[in-house]
Structure 1
């Protein structure tokens, strides 16, 4: 009996040992090695807004994961799984993107793909160039696809260094106000793509000098629209329609007392700071005005207003003496007793204060002050 029991124990041990590995699981991975991954490729989805954003989507068959080395700006590769992607913002330039693909057995296949980014030139520059506070221009600008903007103010010569503007892609760019001396300048706005391409736009900037006598209607930096009209009168700076005689100026002031205009219709021109220099009687009590009219005898009225020290508004009427030619009319305030040092903040012109307008047109030029 003892021999039989021993034989059964040995047989049991052999049976247990032979069944220690479950069915179908062993170290033979030959079937896994035969997955044959392939058709490796990629998709580069490159933005067109100059942000440099690129979406990288690996493509392959039989791959469990891909590791993307971006080739710029990051030391750590990005791991993505089938159907996934990586995103990165690239500066303009040429790059090599490496994608290492792994199959189910852990075998790696590496591929390199060239990536080129060329930023597009900005388009549709628009700048606000009339936002003046005195002689200080506060500039803002926009442009499609602009990654940055700069400005050259145009008042420091050909070697001027561009001033950066502040803003972001797709938004408005601004810059601190720039103070000009009176004059005419070419302002240049430069839109930057973020790469090599740039786009520029130029603007003519006129910075007016304070309005002052003499009034010639010729200066490019004098605002001859300073002031306004009342009572149905129209005025405009126009080419001299009758050059010759005492006045060969290129431009003059046309004064129209339109049909039906009020008897008292006229113009007013502020002469007060900061946009103008007040009229000081110490600079002369005579005011001379060149006039061209088609009728003899109608009066031109010239008035000084807003006198300092409470001096009242004071005007003088002088008639035209010739028709259809230029003449100089003199308005002498000396006999009116204007105190020395008196200044005036406004001048006024009126024509034919005895009747309503009938469509009369006169031309005025070269308003001067003298003794």
Structure 2
């Protein structure tokens, strides 16, 4: 009997030891969980003098909610995400307490003021404006005494459903077409009576850009510039040669925004640029670049035209209401029917809609038209990198084939690290560009782990340089890092004060040098990162 007891004790001790080892890995995972954030509450008040209010809670990272109605009654617990509760309030002012419950017993609490009155809304004031950034988007703000929310009927045919917002907040709608619409705003409180405002309002297309195109990054020695304020443009360029497009209703003008000159082509059929008196041999160039802004045009055909062998076109898609930076490899033109580029004298810009025979298109703004090539001898590491969006981006495990201890993919709940940039400059300097927030952890003094202001020295302030071989890249400078700052080539940091003066990573490039994979082998495990340009 004693032998049996000893055997059972040994089995129990072995199981406990294994469980502890597994718990250590689980603690690493749970340490990354953060409390719910951005708590919000939408109040929807019945207009029948009943005092019935529908409460819809929301938060980032919540798994359930508790609501204390603030009127002395029993609250509601364990409300599932996406669900609502209804409660009858008497007339009065209440402070509603929302508790958002997350994983690992992490909770967040917020309070919201609710005024319940059976008086009809009065002193309704409505502000309606076109959105300053998005075409055909209209924003409505309504305020009124004794109102809790408001509904906006935007008047587009086929859509009779109102957009609802709390009083004093914004209700927005994007129309399918620009035009004048009959808008009706209804302010609601607990009473049956409501207050209304109606108006005819014009939703407009934002034809003109509100900001300049990105500043061109190329050195002038590697550029043949056709039109750009940054570079010296070639002589003899005509930006409206009039090949008959005026007969199609198209027009041209120069447009200036904050002293930045750009070309405006309205009612686009086809437009172009001509420098026939000064043809350019662009055979030493690798790309043609254009920045194009539009609110209406979906696709653009860009043609290079040779004096000796005609034209070849490449079609590209445009992003509406923003600048599209276009870099087309010259090889996409020369691969078409033995096209040569020794005497390029024109560029044609043609709406794909017009090319298909469907009439003229909208307006485009064009800036920074130039041919360019990469500087000789530049490392493929030169450029700005961010975490790769395709597949696993970060991970740690016993080896590169097994990153199961912890791993992360972009979009997995840490947006403040998804947009961090790691910049290898051509002059040998290195930058961590983190913006206003990045992922910070307890070893840095953060509590809890989560998105927060960068912490010295891992805050992008390092005066850092870089060097590389075919298989390694080394960062020199206290606070410079790739991926996660706590990981060095000798171990994991326990305090920012121990940040080393240099870190060497094993690296490999793929996907035409647009994908960078690095890892650090610490003996007991391997950290792995994947980046993209």
Q: When the two structures are superposed, what TM-score results if normalisation uses the length of structure 2?
A: 0.21
Flag the structure with more relative contact order, 1 or 2, with Cα contacts below 8 A and sequence separation at least 6.
1
Q: When the two structures are superposed, what TM-score results if normalisation uses the length of structure 1?
A: 0.28
Larger radius of gyration, structure 1 or 2?
A: 1
